[in-house]
Chain A
């Protein structure tokens, strides 16, 4: 039995915006995140965001795989299997922490953690970043990147991103 409480930096899930030369990292709290899985779900969400697409507006769909999208700030939906449409719906608002990375060095920071480039498109926004599974896309601007990471790994992502940003 080991008491390792002092070996881990306490966190409360409320990160303060962090800024260091050429890059800002800001926590974002979407009102709603809905996971939808269905055959040919992308045809029902033709504008679903992949990489390096730029999501605009407050409400949009992210393409995760050929049968799955994440609706950000979409309408409230009943959870479970929707027999009529033929889709699985789950509220994952509390399952993912969301961060914005902004600034001229933001892409360089991402290149520290994943093989990525604006010239290498992907239909899916899902990828590994610093060993963590994330959804990554651009939001609102050429140099604003938004990532969703599982809530329990939010602190790890924050420590990694801010730590690496500080070394740029």
Chain B
């Protein structure tokens, strides 16, 4: 075995052995191991395969910077895909499998793909699969793509807790700088939270012999005790994965394996970034061989897990951290050779098993190559928050520059790599004292990819992006780093570019002969490390994912065998009865036309507008003139957007001189309320207009049909229901058994209708009384589906169904206010723009089909008959009318109003048919039944 466990040292508990398996073989690790450290301890080098070429992959880094060791892990009978092995803590009984490999990582049948690498470079898919049709190849490629497969079984209870919290100072990172800052801030009386993604805080301190005169363990323990004694909170196994608006930091707190992490939305007055830095890979030939690893990672495996990465180690480093690292490895028993990588071309020797390294023509035998191309500060969160980055020549790295408000970076994340300076800086920042200049003994020689050099040199280990791919992208003019990323997939692997971005952008800089800062970085986006979707959804799952509004009468509807469904955000009866929905809907339509239907219309908006300026306000909000509306009367009208497009339709009733109630569409109430509030506060005097949305205070029951008057009369309200005393489009306020009710004569079916609104707690009594009265004349409940047919027979529109985003009121036959209304109204000017006056606007029309023909498909296109037909409109509503005995349809058609009687071709999913354009009203066009 090359890598192996040493007999002492590390933070693992050697008294607690744990059994696990990898690719079918059983191994032993210890409590405190990660999956990767445990496998390394057992001499396992190959832990996965690369994404494209299926090259063997060993681990690169010891923590979040490892892109290679990705496993599907089964524990307790449940499988979790794509677990990062470097950060997944070992548990007894884990069954792990490499991803993207079959039958195992060490022997993968698809490994032969690597032989085709000359033809599989960047852009291969884009260039190859365009003929004859991408979709021909897509299924196969989709099957081959991806890493671990998701298990089909549902993991019960896998849901994230979500918490909100606040603190004065949030310290991100529990290394030396983070601990020192947290202690200083807490002891200054601040409310401090320190988050650390390892089990045990301390960062890289365990690689050292001592810290400020103490062992690392003692120093860390002292800091933690002092932080907590001062009232600070320490959250381990917690990753700050993103910084969002107003210093809200997303924290993912890991629990036991198999449980979804808990999300903390932590609002901090101040964020101190102490996230540290990672080693950069060096780009050289065959640098992806298993056994080429991060020098810092190897030191971490040794310091935290007691694992020595190799026996005969070549250290390839361009910086001053190499010497102490080499010393540490040698003291642990390895034979270590330090090599200067800047002297000439480099090549790793061997394939699955490393044999050595060749530098400037000189060969050095080695079973392990530990690489450090310089430290890269982890500045992801800094960039999430909008902080700037400055290129620093001394450290050859992008370092935090101009700070976002309330944020500071310290320690290695700030480019302060030397411990003493980092501690001084951390304490100064925590106490709001002037911070010392960046300085220190850290030295690094520039060492970047050399375009044109020989051999296959990996930039992105997981996604198989090589230096030649970057050169190819540059030749094809994908020179922006953002384009480079998308063209080559560089930085899009599981580590999201932590190891590849610097090399990639440096390579592009070298190819173009530009300085690195001129090329810049790609955009840093949350999450910092992959997170399960459950973290974001939290408790919003199942019925709570998209909860519907519930009717006060739902129990009665259920008792009446209602089929419930979502209609505009409400759970409403679609029809009543089980089985044969079409038959039930048809029967309900016939019932409503022959006797009466009783409908729960409670979701209809009931938004009251009150105040001295209420009249002028609603006159301004509506397309139609409302100021002439008299108390007790109702008017139909449109609300428009500022672009003149129809936003909502409905009726408005006047209850008094300074009081109106807007009955907007059921699904648009929230939108209309917000629309009214916005205009109330903008351009109007908000002290003279007030808007109360009372939709849920009042339940509304509609009785519609020729027997509607008889049914309502049975309620015995003190109200004259005769057509003369109570005509269509009027409203009366009265009482029912002592409870105030509003009765509106307004119809959405084309038949005599009464809408009765009553406070919701009394709606059940009203419903039962109406149903009882209706039963005696053959009337009964109807659902939304029947209502949809009834209103279409009359040619009444549903906004959003029979209108589109460009529809204006004159497209629907309501052109007079546009020409005549004198007062200003929302959308006025837009109705006179060129687009509003085009003669090819899509206008509302009806369609008839030939006798015996089926209904037109909703959504079918109405096409011209030229050589190259194009869509001139489409069918918006279509039904087989039970009332009329033939299909009917509504639609939007270019110049529709001028094409009444014209035959139009209809196209739907490759099938052609035809229809005749007609007026949109199919039922009682004279309105006799409406006004009865």
Contacts and interface: CB of A to CB of B under 8 A. Distances in A.
A114 B166 CA distance: 11
Nearest to B584: A1
Contact of B564 (A4, A115, A120): A4
A1 B659 CA distance: 39
Interface in B552-580: 552, 554-555, 558, 562-566, 570-571, 574-575, 578
B164 interface: yes
Interface stretch (B169-177, B402-410, B690-698, B863-871): B690-698
A151 B552 contact: yes
Contacts of B785: 1
B655 A80 contact: yes
A159 B558 contact: no
A150 B563 contact: no
B539 A92 contact: no
B543 A115 contact: no
B697 A160 contact: no
Given A11-B554, A115-B166, A151-B552, A159 B692 contact: no
B813 interface: no
Given A3-B574, A159-B544, A94 B163 contact: no
A90 to B, nearest CB: 4
A4 B565 contact: yes
B697 A152 contact: no
A85 to B, nearest CB: 12
Contacts of B267: 115
A128 to B, nearest CB: 11
B552 A81 contact: no
B910 to A, nearest CB: 25
Interface in A78-131: 80-81, 83, 88, 90-96, 111-117, 119-120, 130-131
Interface in A1-55: 1-5, 7-13, 35, 37-39
Interface string B653-684: 00110110000000000000000000000000
B623 to A, nearest CB: 24
B581 A8 contact: no
B760 A80 contact: no
B161 A88 contact: no
Contact of A152 (B549, B608, B610, B686): B549
Nearest to A66: B686
Interface residues of A, number: 51
Nearest to A14: B555
A37 to B, nearest CB: 4
A59 interface: no
Contacts of B364: none
Contacts of A4: 563-566, 571
A156 B571 contact: no
Contacts of A120: 166
Contacts of A153: 547, 549-550
Contacts of B566: 4
A39 B613 CA distance: 14
A88 B539 contact: no
B581 A94 contact: no
Q: Which of A35, A117, A150, A152 neighbours the largest number of chain B CB atoms within 10 Å of its CB?
A: A152
B550 A155 contact: yes
Contacts of A114: 164
B539 A152 contact: no
Interface string A62-86: 0000010000000000001101000
A164 B539 contact: yes
A112 B543 contact: no
Given A80-B656, A163-B544, A10 B759 contact: no
Contacts of A113: 164
A95 B694 contact: yes
B761 interface: yes
A156 to B, nearest CB: 4
Nearest to B686: A67
A156 B582 CA distance: 31
B565 A80 contact: no
Nearest to A164: B539
B303 interface: no
Given A5-B563, A117-B166, A10 B554 contact: yes
Given A5-B558, A95-B696, A37 B552 contact: no
Contact of A80 (B581, B585, B610, B695): B610
Given A1-B565, A11-B550, A81-B614, A90 B608 contact: yes
Nearest to B574: A1
A118 B761 CA distance: 35
Contact of A94 (B164, B571, B610, B761): B761
A160 B538 CA distance: 11
Contacts of A35: 692
A80 B659 contact: yes
A160 to B, nearest CB: 6
A120 B167 CA distance: 11
A81 B163 contact: no
Given A37-B690, A88-B690, A94-B697, A3 B164 contact: no
Contacts of A8: 543, 548, 564, 571
B692 A81 contact: no
A2 B575 CA distance: 10
A80 to B, nearest CB: 5
Nearest to A40: B687
A159 B545 CA distance: 12
Contacts of B574: 1-3
A112 B161 contact: yes
Given A67-B686, A94-B696, A117-B166, A112 B539 contact: yes
Interface in B584-625: 585, 608, 610-612, 614
A103 to B, nearest CB: 17
A68 to B, nearest CB: 8
A35 B691 CA distance: 11
Contacts of A111: 163-165
Contacts of B575: 1
A67 B550 contact: no
Nearest to B581: A1
Given A92-B694, A163-B539, A115 B610 contact: no
Q: Which of A4, A91, A151, A159 has most B Cβ within 10 Å?
A: A151
A71 B163 CA distance: 31
Contacts of B691: 37
A92 to B, nearest CB: 5
Interface string B455-473: 0000000000000000000
B367 to A, nearest CB: 50
B555 A91 contact: no
A8 B785 CA distance: 19
A10 B558 contact: yes
A116 B585 CA distance: 48
A150 B558 contact: no
Nearest to B566: A4
Nearest to B783: A1
Q: Which 6 A-B pairs have the closest CB atoms?
A: A152-B549, A3-B563, A95-B697, A88-B690, A156-B547, A37-B690
24 contacts: A1-B563, A1-B565, A1-B575, A1-B582, A1-B785, A11-B555, A67-B690, A80-B658, A83-B612, A88-B608, A88-B611, A93-B697, A95-B696, A95-B760, A113-B164, A114-B164, A115-B164, A116-B164, A131-B540, A150-B549, A151-B696, A156-B550, A159-B543, A159-B547
Given A88-B608, A111-B164, 17 more contacts: A1-B575, A2-B565, A3-B578, A4-B564, A4-B565, A8-B548, A9-B543, A80-B658, A83-B612, A93-B697, A95-B694, A96-B696, A113-B164, A152-B549, A152-B550, A156-B543, A159-B544
Interface of A: 1-5, 7-13, 35, 37-39, 67, 80-81, 83, 88, 90-96, 111-117, 119-120, 130-131, 150-156, 159-160, 163-164, 167
